[in-house]
Amino acid sequence: MTADPDRALVVRARRGDPAAFDALVARHRDVVFRVAARIVGRDEAHDVSQDAFLRAFNRLDGFRGEGTFRAWLLQITHNAALRAAERRLPEPLEPEGVEEAGAIAESAVARTPVAELEARERRRRLEAKIALLKPQHRAVLVLRDVEGLSYEEIAAVTEAPLGSVKGRLNRARGELIAILRANTYDWELPR
């Protein structure tokens, strides 16, 4: 088992050190928000992320350290996101807002404005199509193919056996390919 880089912070946070919990939030807020946003949409991702962090905070004594803190936190995020997704249909992610224009400009340095617009449109369309998958399928697809988690980590996060994770991922990829093939936009997916 690999050493958990968050162990010292978790120990300090458990002892009541508020700065340690703040540091854990700062360290993991991006991945928690990304996973939440890809499952429930950007608007609801803020509430889901807050819910996940506060649940983690209140259950910190129950974290046994069998896996990493990150995997445990993502498990809480995944469950919170699925609960939220069950409550209402997800909205596709919208293109980045004005406040994120700086980040966009930075990532677009090497592209022409037309190519960048085209890439953003493809991303927007793809995100909208991913939102059509079942929440459980969407979750494993995002965790594996977008966030790059290992199968073992995904099994821990989703609390599912390894075989189920692989099966769910295969089905998710197959469903997404079928959805994209049915789309009028050409995704260049040969049969």
Distance CA 55, CA 8 (A): 20
* Binder among 21, 70, 72, 137 for other proteins (CB under 8 A): 21
- Shortest distance in whole angstroms from residue 176 CB to other proteins: 6
Is residue 168 within the footprint of other proteins (CB under 8 A)? Answer: no
Residue 112: phi and psi, rounded to 5, are -75, 160
| Cα–Cα distance for residue pair 136/39, rounded to 1 Å | 9
* 166 contributes a contact to other proteins by CB under 8 A: yes
Q: Is residue 42 involved in binding other proteins (CB under 8 A)?
A: yes
> Can you list the alpha helix ranges (DSSP code H) found in 15-134?
18-40, 42-58, 69-87, 101-107, 113-130
Asked whether 157 and 74 are in contact (CB, 8 A), the reply is yes
In contact, 178 and 170? CB cutoff 8 Å: no
- 58-97 residues in contact with other proteins (CB under 8 A) are 58, 93, 96
Q: Indicate whether 157 belongs to the interface with other proteins (CB under 8 A).
A: no
Window contacting other proteins (CB under 8 A); options: 3-11, 65-73, 76-84, 139-147: 139-147
- Residue choice 123, 134, 159, 185 for contact with other proteins (CB under 8 A): 123
Specify whether the CB–CB gap between 122 and 112 falls below 8 A: no
Token look-up 């509430």 returns: 47
In the complex, the residues that contact other proteins under the rule CB under 8 A are: 16, 18, 21-22, 25-26, 29-30, 32-34, 37-38, 42, 45-46, 49-50, 53-54, 57-58, 93, 96, 99-100, 103-104, 107, 119-120, 122-123, 126-127, 141, 144-146, 151, 166, 173, 176-177, 180, 187-191
